[in-house]
Amino acid sequence: MSERPRLKITLIDRKGERGCHRGHKVGDSWDFDTERGDICPMAMHVAFVYADILRYGGQIPGQEKDTAVFCCPDADTINVFKIEKVK
């Protein structure tokens, strides 16, 4: 069995009116496997779905290969994240 690909999550934009209650800022980046405990749990809840799709060979329709862009579900903050395979 081949090794699972590494994944990186980066905060790429913010659309809400308030700052992130966890203090995340555009440009912050985390290793999915070793630093995911540092990311807001609400954002991670969404990220897990995309991580599984990318890790096991799937692609997100309409998005760049080996990437997924998703939003935090906090309507006051709306942080936009990108998760990508690390090559």
**Cα distances (angstroms) measured from residue 21 to each of 32, 38, 74:** 20, 13, 10
**Within a domain: residue 52?**
yes
**Structure confidence at residue 2 as a pLDDT band (50, 70, 90):** low
pLDDT digits (tens, 9 = 90+) for 9-59: 999 999 988 889 899 999 999 999 999 999 999 999 999 999 999 999 999
What's the whole-number mean pLDDT along residues 62-66?
Answer: 96
Domain ranges, residue 59: 6-86
pTM reported for the whole predicted model: 0.92
**Within a domain: residue 33?**
yes
pLDDT at 16: 83
**Within a domain: residue 1?**
no
**Within a domain: residue 32?**
yes
Q: For residue 54, how many other CB atoms are within 10 A of its CB? A: 22
Q: State the Cα–Cα distance between residues 64 and 22, nearest whole angstrom.
A: 28
What's the whole-number mean pLDDT along residues 75-83?
Answer: 94
**How many domains, in total, are found in the chain?**
1
**Within a domain: residue 18?**
yes
